Amino acid sequence: MKLGIMCGIPLSGKSTYAKVLQSQGWVRVSIDDLRLALHGQVYKAEAEPQVWAIAELMVRSLLKSGHKVIVDTTNRTRERRRRWRRVAKEFGLTLEIYQVNTDYETCKARNKVLKRLPQDILKQIHKEYEKPTLNEGTIINVI
């Protein structure tokens, strides 16, 4: 049983790496997939509390069943990561933070091609991003 989270800005390669972990036996909980399953949209502000409650319930259930779980979303601030640190602690685990270090310009170029989100939103998320620190868990740098 392990709990890991992806950490990085959109289009940095988090989901790609999370899928590699999935192929190694981890169960991937994708916040984007939950949003699409719940309301069919990439983002709907009024549904966010429900999305996050469902995600946490899924993670807890999977951990109780003995799985290794990877949470696939940006986890871009210490505040957003705090939820997962708390869950890890409750299960007697150290949170594993898979930090994807792709630079902003590369993510911006990918977004121009893929058109996943407005460029101003990508820029805002980049500005908000807080690198994880050692007191938050074990940091594993990827890509």
Nearest to 30 by CA among 59, 64, 60: 59
SS3 at position 133: coil
CA 94 from centre of chain? 16
Q: Encode pLDDT of 29-82 as tens digits.
A: 999 999 999 998 888 889 999 999 999 999 999 999 999 999 999 999 999 999
Average pLDDT, the chain: 96
Q: What is the pTM of this model?
A: 0.94
Determine the residue type at 5.
I
Domains and CATH numbers, the chain: 2-142 (3.40.50.300)
Q: Which helix (H) or strand (E) holds 7?
A: strand 2-7
Report long-range pairs for 34-40 (Cβ below 8 Å, ≥24 apart). 34/58
* Cα 119-12-10 angle, rounded to 5 deg: 40
DSSP string, 50-115: HHHHHHHHHHHHHHHTT-EEEEES---SHHHHHHHHHHHHHTT-PPEEEEE---HHHHHHHHHHH-
